[in-house]
Structure 1
């Protein structure tokens, strides 16, 4: 169940964009904390973003990209979790899920000006807000341009960050 406010936002702001999809990013640790169960991968609908990366051993606890059309049970739980736990972020994207997962995997690491590498926890709303404010709109768009909008709850309010013009 995609939250009503996100569905309304999509219809209102993108009425001619039939190519757009809504996905949800869920933090595996927060999901386990909420349900006492782990998210299980499902081909084409539930994808561990750490799978196939150097952090693969952390895949169960890391971020999961989920297609609401094919994983309604997980999405229902994510919607329940969202107000209480910092581990749910909704994405609006034009990419199909496998391509979106690959694009997100490439966004996990960011090189800082001093050459150090940083893991970007974009599946955590607290980190998203801080990151957006610290890097600014242009750097945000350059790094996260593959996602049209990010929607999440931060301090009790629905926030969205758009990458469109």
Structure 2
């Protein structure tokens, strides 16, 4: 998270102490950058690829980190965010497990031809276009319970808020 966003987060927490910070991380980008895979740590992170058959490639998929439980990860994730389009930050009162369950159904989308495709919303380049992908109703559902979703794209910080 950039220093400017860290300052904004600290101010936001003063006003909304019930809100937690989560990092959504592209596991494949993490593995490529650091040379090792993200592994599951109960209460700290959850893979979004948890169901068969995706579970066997969970290391390469999206991972949610509860930053209150993962302060030692902050520096690495900020480094990764600067190196590759791979990290976004979510502010929500949801728990790690509830946020994971909320986001999982959005990974697979049904195309008009009836095929299923992976919606890589955990990639900031895709997240930046999410308003073009979803209707306002779909965007509101997608961001339900998420106060703010922050990501960097083209050297600028951007925000996704429910219905916006």
- Number of residues paired by the alignment? 164
TM-score normalised by length of structure 2: 0.86
Residues 49-68 of structure 1 correspond to what in structure 2 (within 5 A)?
49-68=48-67
Taking a change above 3 Å as real, the CA distance of residues 68 and 14 of structure 1, as seen in their structure-2 partners, is closer
Contact 2:20–2:68 at 8 Å: present in 1 too? Answer: no
Taking a change above 3 Å as real, the CA distance of residues 66 and 13 of structure 1, as seen in their structure-2 partners, is closer
Measure how far apart 1:93 and its partner are: 1.0
Post-superposition CA distance 1:100-151 (Å, at most 9, x none):
1111112212334554433211110011112222324432112332322211
Query: Equivalent residue of 2:40, what SS?
Result: coil
Contact 1:19–1:94 at 8 Å: present in 2 too? Answer: yes
Measure how far apart 1:11 and its partner are: 5.1
Query: Equivalent residue of 2:59, what SS?
Result: coil
Taking a change above 3 Å as real, the CA distance of residues 21 and 107 of structure 1, as seen in their structure-2 partners, is same
Q: Does 1:89 align with 2:88?
A: yes
Inter-partner Cα distance in structure 1 for 2:81 and 2:36: 17
C-alpha root-mean-square deviation of aligned residues, in Å?
2.3
Inter-partner Cα distance in structure 2 for 1:97 and 1:159: 23
TM-score normalised by length of structure 1: 0.86
Residues 2-17 of structure 1 correspond to what in structure 2 (within 5 A)?
2-10=1-9, 12=11, 16-17=15-16
Taking a change above 3 Å as real, the CA distance of residues 78 and 11 of structure 1, as seen in their structure-2 partners, is closer
Unaligned stretches of 5+ residues in structure 2: none
Inter-partner Cα distance in structure 1 for 2:145 and 2:11: 21
Measure how far apart 1:54 and its partner are: 3.5
Inter-partner Cα distance in structure 2 for 1:22 and 1:58: 25
Inter-partner Cα distance in structure 2 for 1:13 and 1:42: 27
Unaligned stretches of 5+ residues in structure 1: none
Contact 1:148–1:164 at 8 Å: present in 2 too? Answer: no
Q: Does 1:100 align with 2:99?
A: yes
Map of 2:123 onto structure 1 = 124
